[in-house]
């Protein structure tokens, strides 16, 4: 995990955070503008957690492919979690 954090760095975490916040904002717009803060928080946490989870599971493609692969994994993870959250909250 420490190697992942060192590899991503501060800039990578900021990019992942922006991706998660944007996914949350879009999800709130799709749901009619309700629960904007909740969706953005869920998007933020899931966008950062998705690449970490993949690394913990031993998926080494992220390390080899760089920041673009991590952003794609973060976006996919955030969308999946936000979809589940929308089913629960709306």
Structural domain including 47 reads: 11-89
In a domain, 30, yes or no: yes
In a domain, 27, yes or no: yes
In a domain, 28, yes or no: yes
In a domain, 1, yes or no: no
In a domain, 3, yes or no: no
CA angle 17, 79, 2 (to 5 degrees): 45
Enter the pTM of the model.
0.78
In a domain, 4, yes or no: no
Give me the tens of pLDDT residue by residue for the chain, a chain 90 residues long. Answer: 566 666 667 788 888 889 889 988 988 888 787 788 988 999 899 888 888 887 778 776 665 667 788 788 888 888 888 888 888 876
Structural domain total, the chain: 1
Neighbours of 39 (CB within 10 A): 25
């Amino acid at each position: 995990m420490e190697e992942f954090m060192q590899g991503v760095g501060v800039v990578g975490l900021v990019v992942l955070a922006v991706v998660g916040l944007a996914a949350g904002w879009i999800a709130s717009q799709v749901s009619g503008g309700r629960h904007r803060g909740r969706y953005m928080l869920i998007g933020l946490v899931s966008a950062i957690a998705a690449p970490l989870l993949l690394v913990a599971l031993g998926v080494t493609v992220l390390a080899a492919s760089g920041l673009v692969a991590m952003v794609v994994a973060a976006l996919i993870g955030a969308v999946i979690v936000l979809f589940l959250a929308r089913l629960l909250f709306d």
